[in-house]
Amino acid sequence: MGHIKRVILDVLKPHHPSILELAENISELEGISGVNISLEEMDEKTHSIKITIEGTSINYDNVLETIMNGGAEVHSIDGVSAGMKIVEEVNTPQDR
């Protein structure tokens, strides 16, 4: 069975905890080798962030629980890579 290697999430979170703390909490989960969090938008009470997670075998339920424990909410799963290796997106002539 193929394992999830990368997940890209669109997340809405309160100002606290910080993205530093959220990244640390996610990175400590089993099967995760790296986390990248980018601030996309900020308003009075919330941050819209993009979270990219890579690892050998990502357990999405554990990731979701960690995000929700920080008071955040996943708006969408914007990308997933699974299998023996990560396949990068390739531009085709139709993409030009």
Q: How confident is the model at residue 86 (pLDDT cuts 50, 70, 90)?
A: confident
How many structural domains are present in the chain? 1
| Residue 10 forms part of a structural domain | yes
What average pLDDT score do residues 20-25 get?
A: 98
> For the chain, how long is the longest CA-to-CA vector?
44
| Residue 36 forms part of a structural domain | yes
Is residue 84 scored above 90 in pLDDT?
A: no
| Residue 95 forms part of a structural domain | no
| Residue 94 forms part of a structural domain | no
**The predicted structure's pLDDT at residue 26:** 98
Closest to 44 measured CA to CA, from 16, 15, 74: 15
Whole-angstrom Cα Rg for the chain: 14
Residue 64 sits in a domain of what CATH number? 3.30.70.1340
| Residue 55 forms part of a structural domain | yes
| Residue 47 forms part of a structural domain | yes
**The predicted structure's pLDDT at residue 42:** 94
| Residue 96 forms part of a structural domain | no
Is residue 81 scored above 90 in pLDDT?
A: yes
**The predicted structure's pLDDT at residue 92:** 84
| Residue 18 forms part of a structural domain | yes
**The predicted structure's pLDDT at residue 69:** 96
Closest to 78 measured CA to CA, from 60, 96, 52: 52
Query: Which domain, by its residues, includes 61?
Result: 4-84
